[in-house]
Amino acid sequence: MSKIVGIDLGTTNSLVGVFDSGFPVLIADAEGRRLTPSVVHFPGGDQAPLVGAAARRVRGLKPRETVSSIKRFMGRRGSELSHEEMIVNYPVAGKGSEPVRVELPGRSWSPEEISAEVLKKLKADVERSLGETVSRAVITVPAYFNDAQRNATKEAGRLAGFEVERIVNEPTAAALAYGLDRLKQKSKIAVYDLGGGTFDISILELNEGVFQVLSTNGNTRLGGDDIDAALTDELARRLSAKLQTHVDAALLARLHEEAETAKIRLSSEVETKVEIPFALGEQSFSTTITREQLEILAKPIVQKTRANCLRSLSDAKLKPADLNDVILVGGQTRMPMVRALVQEIFGREPNTSANPDEAVALGATIQAGILEGGVQNMVLLDVTPLSLGIETFGGLMNVIIPRNTTIPTKAGELFTTAVDNQKSMKIQVLQGERELARDNWSLGLFDLEFAPAPKGVPRVGVQFEIDANGILSVLARDVKTGHQKVVALKSAVDVRDEDVEKMVAESVEHAFDDLAQRQWIETKRKSGDILGATRKALAQVGHLIVQTEVKEIEELMAAVEKALESENLNELKAANAALDKGTLPLADLLMDLAMEEQLRKKGMLGDEPPEEGPPPTPVLKPDPIAPTGTEGAIPLKGENPPDSGGKTG
């Protein structure tokens, strides 16, 4: 069987490693470089794409045919992209719900296909080094990648000839590398991962070889690329002013190359010179950039990570002083300004012992070793960053898997119908932290059909399963017939990633309003239950009680209806309670009649024939369903849903 390789498919650089003789080993290419630039150049015609360092060298000369930072477009659609994101050196297309495409000479490419070219090179490098074919891989992704982005990463692996055994979050992979020689040490650590295109912050607990993610947060569109862009704009402004010329696309690409190089140098130097020979005919361009000037440009970008860090600590219910260590991952953390910010946020000097460029790849390789059985006494437990559930009757979000639940995981709940003779139930899968369905994101919508029955009779089990890669599958089953549908979600959230970051903050900001709306909807639903049951009871046995009692009950019903119009929660709760109490004698009468009917059927009350018509309903208390609606679902608390007995997807 093929060895399993560990791959860090990065925005800027990618790496591959194998677990050999008890150690993770990163593989170098034919020129001795372990870092492979995630850059692909497409010459056109029948020529094969150039990948890595060779492609990066061409980028300044032929920017429109050279693709870099494609990871930012993985699994995304046109409607998710801002105008600024579409401004890159190569042509990017995508409208509405259409997947993003890169229009290159000769054909249109998907981000997955371009990433596959990088993975093919890594595959060739490791096969050359090992002298054998490799077809299995562990690949890392940012912790905040959604379902569509994770699926896109798996698809890129498949196109490159890999069977992707597992998708691992990048901060978690870094923690694996960090903790390999500390298996007996119980500690809590923060992993601050600022790479070329993404930012992640994760809080993990290490205990006797178990790595458990306590919380995670981040921004899938924040990284060193943004600093490069800001510095490129500054250089373009200087060049334009000095040479009195417009900076075209080709010249901008050359400036971008110099900006990236200058940024790297300024991590160890206080100033550096940027030179563009023959920038305009025989005119050359030269300027000096200081570290202070770079930090002024970079500060607004780097400061955005502060909020993510504070949210992650809050989610883990920890203070900075509770952490045993803070480790840095990602090439951008070499920047002194970034290290100073991390020290300020967490109140301790960050751990810089690990190579920030290689830590994620080492962790992926260790995970490959775990899957191969080469690493013992180590377990990796990841979490889902946002709650998952379905929409229930009244437009509420019913959470099935809470946020920060350790994955892989499986959970389910039973639901019933909202109206009589309902033929199907809509299962709308939601992700988010708000109480109302409309304020969360829809991941998918499907119908489950079943035989018509009175409301509250059908039982539909809904089960969510998140696999080790963070991919969600949803099963819905009619308990009576066993008829079921299984949906493996292939796109996660058709919204901008900034909204993902705002979700938790908005849930806190609107917590009181959301709770009030949920309470009103639930109380209103209870009112409908009581009113419906009372009308039904009066129609059946109202003639058996004195008219003054009937009038009192009707007045109590009118009070509930008036409270419904007022939309005053406390008034409605009081009216419900009064009607509930006022109908107790009616409920007792219904129960007595029902018991009498059962005794008569058993021949225990003489030979009198039973009265014509159906027996009276013995229940007046609110049912766990709503009296009106179309195809909504109502949760049945306390009842266990059927288990699929295994994988749902």
Other C-beta atoms closer than 10 Å to the C-beta of 196 total 23
pTM of the model: 0.60
> Mean pLDDT for each consecutive 10-residue tract of the chain (649 residues)?
91 92 87 92 88 90 90 87 78 85 89 96 95 95 83 94 90 77 70 88 80 82 90 93 85 88 93 90 91 96 95 93 91 94 95 86 90 67 77 86 79 84 87 85 85 86 82 87 78 41 67 78 83 84 79 87 84 87 80 76 58 42 34 62 50
| pLDDT for 380 | 58
Angle of helix 584-601 versus helix 569-582 axis, rounded to 10? 40
| pLDDT for 34 | 92
Secondary structure (DSSP) of 558-602: HHHHHHHHHT-HHHHHHHHHHHHHHTHHHHHHHHHHHHHHHHHHT
Quick one: CA dihedral 87, 91, 92, 94, positive or negative? positive
474 φ/ψ angles, rounded to the nearest 5 degrees: -125, 130
| pLDDT for 518 | 79
Pairwise CA distance, residues 204 & 312, whole Å: 10
| pLDDT for 402 | 84
Nearest to 608, CA basis, from 621, 618, 599: 599
The residues assigned a catalytic role are 8, 71, 170, 193
Pairwise CA distance, residues 44 & 105, whole Å: 6
